[in-house]
Amino acid sequence: MTSIDAVVAGAGLWGCTVARRLAESGRNVLVLEKRPVVGGNVRCETDPATGIEIHTYGSHIFHTHLDDVWDFVNRFISFNGYQHKVLARYKGKTYFLPLGLTLVNQFYGINLTPSELPAFIANEASRDVPQGVTPSNFEEQAISFVGRPLYEAFIRDYTRKQWGRDPKELDASIIRRLPVRTSYDVNYFSDYRQGIPLTGYNSLFDRLLNHPNITVQCDTDWLTWKEGEGKALSHLPVFYSGPIDALFGYKFGALEWRSLNFEVERVNCADYQGTSVVNYTLADVPWTRIHEYKHYHPEQKDVMAHPETIICKEFPKKWELGDEPYYSVNNRETDELLAKYKQEAAKMSNITIGGRLGEYKYYDMDQSIARALAVDLT
């Protein structure tokens, strides 16, 4: 690259999509990534002994109903058609999520029809939350949707582990939408376009960045780089997907996140749990879920048949500055703090801020790409 026309800070989904668009518009792009490798939290590594693709930062399943996003990613990769199904363990029994006829009939030992389910759930909910009463917190909102028995079995303790707080202390808006399916459909996502890249997630990033107008520099934090060798390029437009509070040196304080710890184990059996993800809903189990990665590639017959498997237990934790941020904690306090940082960002003329870290918002993968496709590059 003989010259640079734009800088992209962060090589996750948002940053790599923006970089590709810039390159295809004829501009020379420098992509800076703080980590040693590109891919953000979608980064995977292949276990050499078993061939299993391990999702380094927890399971990622691509799913979308957005035509432009689907068309864009399929320029670079093809998907295996994997359909995500999640199971939940409760008091020694295994249930299919999400809440629907399969779970409700099994849990209550009944045989409702699709037309009977809504009235049954409404009756269960009305026992604790009378009609006309507006729920004031997460617990009340959840009970108003599904009733107390289902809430206490599948939501209450899992939520406590996930967020580190009693559900009564969480805002009702966190669970404004809790679908109850009136069918036996046990696919976790309703999007009919879903799957795992046949060649792995890393190939998506490699191909997005494989353009003569793109130069990638890893192990480089843009926040430090711009004060050193990047000073001469301070006039260039920057597309930044790092934490918005870090951009301003946390001058108003750090935004709150939830973080995760992962414990990866090699297990001497071909199939540990029979599916990709099992949630553990009760408080007596410290982890929230177990991932078994080989199930994401059922087309890889040799991997599926390998006598070893790899599992990963996921433990939510309180986030401290320096930890990996996973889930934004959106409440009144963080909304007010975010507004201050957005006001500061509005004063900067040559920077575009995006991605889940930059916008302080949880995005599915297709949403991150959609946001990047909508960025004004001019």
Furthest C-alpha separation in the chain? 70
Catalytic residue among 289, 326, 341, 371: 289
Q: Verify whether residue 165 is a known catalytic residue.
A: no
> How many of the other CB atoms lie within 10 Å of CB of 92?
5
Catalytic residue among 21, 27, 258, 371: 258
Q: Verify whether residue 289 is a known catalytic residue.
A: yes
Catalytic residue among 177, 302, 320, 376: 177
Catalytic residue among 184, 192, 250, 362: 362
Catalytic residue among 139, 245, 292, 314: 314
Q: Verify whether residue 240 is a known catalytic residue.
A: no
Q: Verify whether residue 43 is a known catalytic residue.
A: no
Q: Verify whether residue 177 is a known catalytic residue.
A: yes
Catalytic residue among 156, 181, 356, 371: 181
- On whether the CB atoms of residues 194 and 320 are closer than 8 A, the answer is no
Q: Verify whether residue 364 is a known catalytic residue.
A: yes
Residue type, 115: S
Q: Verify whether residue 35 is a known catalytic residue.
A: no
Q: How far apart are the first and last CA of the chain?
A: 21
Tell me which residues are annotated as active site.
Answer: 177, 181, 258, 289, 314, 362, 364
